[in-house]
Structure 1
Amino acid sequence: MAGIAEVNPANASDVTYQVLSFNQLDGWAKDDHEKALKVFLNTCRDMKDPDWRALCQFAEADPEPRQFFELFFRPVLIEDGQDALFTGYFEPELDGDLYRSARYRYPVYKMPPEALRSNPWLTRREILSSDVMAGRGLEIAWVDDPVELFFLQIQGSGRIRLPGGRSIRVGYRGSNGHPYRSIGVELVRRGVYDAHQVSAQVIKNWVRRNPVQGRDLLFHNPSYVFFREVSKVPADQGPLGAMNRSVTDMRSVAVDPRYVSLGAPVWLEKDGKNPLRRLMIAQDTGSAIKGAQRADIFFGTGDRAGRAAGKLRDPGRMVVLMPIQRAYALLPESAI
């Protein structure tokens, strides 16, 4: 789906649309539009709507990048009454093996058939506190850290370093159908930390220092993610996003597809400690990414990217670039 058909939020009456001009986008002229165009081309061929496919054909004809976006798109500010929030995600790297051992004893699972048929299926606690997965050959690999495995599920993809130097890649296959619940928010609710103190690294350290309470904290999130091996993706490319194409660090974002068409360019004006003004492409989704002004920025692979992504929690504004006729079609007749 694409274009207007995808803008189908649950409470449509609360959603507003405002068509802007490009000179209303802070920092627009200073961005590297060529980099954004290359990322757009990575997925635009997979967009089904005729309007988007026509734009993709123009993009393939090697246009001047900034002129391409300004000529064929209009910026649309979509708001649903919720404050904008930008966070970050990354592709983690875990240590593991293809065989269970004393060190590698935490399984990365394929999706069982009954989880496909039943939505929702068992909760995280029910899956990990029973033998429902045992003896079925559903293990892709085994890793050495249950906390890192938990965060692998939050990120939805990652690399597992095997003994001997080889790696395999895993990507999101599906979930048990239960809603994601933030364990960071739960730590704040329990009075362990204030909201400004919570980050991924802080959570990991607390769980490791408090193994019994930590295990219970992880169970607070009933959502459980299953994986598939995607090692055919070249090592120098990013993990597969929701469009089944590699995402690009600092140019790809995860969005709520109820409001933003997957594959659409989006202009981010992220405020906070390190302001960012950049044209990105909406190529991914996430269970925690809900709302018209909600986006998750892909930071790259490995610990360094993870530390940067884990610290990000900033306000700002996101503007969607839409094909001209679709942008104006969203407005009420009185506004045209």
Structure 2
Amino acid sequence: MIRAKNHQIILAKCFMFLITLVFITAGCVPLTETPSLTNNIRFEPTNFSNIPYWDDDDHEIALEAFNRSCKAILNNPYDTNITTQNPHKNKNWFAVCEIASTLERANNNAAKKFFEKFFVPYSVGQGSIKEGLFTGYYEPVIRGSLSRSERYNVPLYGIPSDMISIKLNEFSDDFPDKVITGRLQGSKFIPYYTRSDIENGKAGLQGSEIAWLEDYTDSFFLHIQGSGQILFEDGSRKRISYAASNGHKYFAIGRKLIQDGEIPKAEISMQRIREWLKQNPSRAKSLTEQNPSYIFFRWNNNTNTKVGPIGSQGIPLTSGRSIAIDRRFFTFGTPIWLKTKIPAAQENKKQDIYRLVIAQDTGSAIKGIIRGDLFIGTGDEAGEIAGKMKEIGRYWVFLPKIK
């Protein structure tokens, strides 16, 4: 009990110091600038008649995905991401979700009319820029084991007992969306161990393993995707999901491969990076350690193969309808009309897509007002598509108009 009280006193001193100075100094973690809608970001209202190919979508599937988000929204009425007064994060989400919950079995026409009646579409831009980067991600299926063996010797860790994540909105309203992660070192709160530290044993995580994989490259890409299915030798599967990160900034190793001339920029993709790691085993770890971000996992009981893994909103993702966004700008559950291209799995072709997707996930690599990562699906074919998807596109966000 005395130790717990001392632990709380140390944290309180560190965080009050943080709030006072805005930046954590003397061994604490610096904050990034809080984004603002005044930073040349524009939300311009428009009409559904101006949304390209709006009438041609499968609105029923989009409404099903939206209703999954609504269940999370209605179950968390104190979410500060929704109750703030920013135009894209407001209390009207509760009212529109209550209406949506009565339409769970709506047909396509009824679903379309629901969005038209209760939302206003907004064109999103930053200055004169209205296009951004859209990528894809998927749920891999990876061979693994619950116990270590000569074959399965690459660990996946659960959340470490010494890692502490702090929601700063519990200390000040000035930081509504900020979370910092670190550990205690004596009386100081310092950044948590980096990927290099963890993989070289400095974090002392023995005993925190929840599964073992047979391939380091598979493990690295599971960290990037954030979730997957572990395939056991008896043929059974179990889903594993993102639980937390070590709080360090994500670095794309593909950028390093381009800089070093290892892979031409025009050829960079998940497949090419995977090939390079396989072909250069002696250099692979030194490259992946350039990315200090590290993911910790948890098991989940979502066995429904008709839906995807659990995303950051805490609900199952929908193939082709769930998108990861920068949560600094949008609340989870926001409907987004997406215009971009999607590659074919095997052929060197691309298809234009215009569809309604729902913001249900986020990721450390998803930064910017016009940036998205589309959930493609589960398995190798979805992985082929996701790995090649790196397209320019734009979107319109739908915001509730209920007063």
Structure 1: distance between partners of 2:303 and 2:363: 20
* C-alpha distance 177-134 of structure 1, shift in aligned 2 (>3 A): closer
How big is each residue's C-alpha offset from its partner over 1:83-114, in whole Å with a ceiling of 9 and x where there is no partner? 41110000111101111111100001001122
Distance 1:133 1:12, change over 3 A: farther
- Given that residues 260 and 320 in structure 1 are in contact (C-alpha distance below 8 angstroms), is that contact kept between their aligned partners in structure 2? no
How far apart are residue 210 of structure 1 and its match? Answer: 0.8
Paired residue total = 318
Compare 41-50 and 18-27 and name the one that shifted more.
41-50
Residues 268-277 or 23-32, more deviating:
268-277
> How much does 1:147 deviate?
0.6
Partner residue of 2:284? Answer: 214
TM-score by length of 2: 0.76
Quick one: structure 1 residues 37 and 194, their matched pair in 2 at CA, closer, same or farther if it must change by over 3 Å? same
Q: 1:116 to 1:202 in 2, by over 3 A?
A: same
Counterpart CA distance in 2 for 1:282 and 1:257 is 9
How does 1:81-96 map onto structure 2 within 5 Å? 81=127, 83-96=131-144
Deviant stretches of 4+, over 4 Å: none
| AA of the residue aligned to 2:234 | G
Change (3 A) 1:174 1:10: farther
Aligned to 1:74: 120
Q: Matches of 2:290 and 2:336 in 1, distance apart?
A: 33
Structure 2 residue matching 1:114: 3-state secondary structure: coil
Equivalent residue, structure 1, for 2:354 = 277
Query: Aligned to 1:57, which of 95, 98, 104?
Result: 98
Match status 1:105 vs 2:153: yes
Deviates more, 1:160-169 or 1:278-287: 160-169
Please name the residue that 1:133 is paired with. 204
How far has the Cα of 1:12 moved from its partner? 3.2
Unaligned runs of 5+ in 2: 1-33, 83-90, 166-180, 183-190, 343-349
Once the two structures are aligned, what percentage of the paired residues are identical? 40
Q: Deviations over 1:191-226 (max 9, x none)?
A: 112211011111111111111211111111110000
Q: TM-score, normalised by structure 1?
A: 0.90
Question: Quick one: distance in 1 between partners of 2:245 and 2:125?
Answer: 29
Shift of 1:78: 2.2
Indicate conservation of the 8 Å contact 1:173/1:226, yes or no.
yes
| CA distances 1:127-177 after superposition (whole Å, capped 9, x unpaired) | 111253353x21111000111100100111111111111122111111111
Match 1:151 to one of 221, 236, 241: 221
Q: Deviations over 1:180-200 (max 9, x none)?
A: 000111100111122110111
Tell me the residue number matched to 1:123.
Answer: 194
Matches of 2:232 and 2:306, distance apart in 1: 18
Q: What secondary structure sits across from 1:78 in the alignment?
A: strand
Which whole-Å CA distance do the structure 1 matches of 2:51 and 2:302 have between them?
Answer: 39
Does residue 251 (structure 1) correspond to residue 321 (structure 2)? The answer is yes
Please give the alpha-carbon distance, in whole angstroms, between the structure 2 residues aligned to 1:11 and 1:130: 43
Residue 116 (structure 1) shift: 2.2
Alignment partners' CA distance in 1, 2:364 and 2:338? 20
Distance 1:187 1:10 in 2: 33
Contact 1:80 1:291 in 2 (8 A): no
Which 10-residue stretch deviates more, 99-108 or 124-133? 124-133
Please state whether the residue corresponding to 1:286 is helix, strand or coil. coil
1:124 partner amino acid: R
Q: 2:387 aligns with which of 295, 310, 314?
A: 310
Which residue among 212, 224, 241 is the counterpart of 1:142? 212
Tell me how far 1:24 sits from its aligned partner: 1.2
Q: Pick the aligned partner of 1:19 from 39, 42, 45.
A: 45
State how far apart, in whole Å, the 1-side matches of 2:353 and 2:45 are.
Answer: 22
Contact preservation (8 Å) 1:93, 1:159: yes
Q: Specify which of 162, 172, 194 is matched with residue 114 of structure 1.
A: 162
Code of the residue aligned with 2:332 in structure 1: it is L
Is 1:292 the equivalent of 2:318? no
Letter in 2 for 1:59: A
User: 2:118·2:402 contact (CA, 8 Å) conserved in 1?
Assistant: no
How far residue 53 of structure 1 moved from its aligned partner, in angstroms, is 1.9
Three-state SS of the structure 1 residue aligned to 2:219 is helix
Q: Corresponding residue for 1:35?
A: 61
Q: Offset of 1:233 from its aligned partner?
A: 4.2
Residues 24 and 235 (structure 1), Cα distance of their counterparts in 2 relative to 1, 3 Å cut? same
Question: Considering only aligned residues, what root-mean-square deviation do their CA atoms show, in Å?
Answer: 1.7
Counterpart of 2:24 in structure 1 is: none
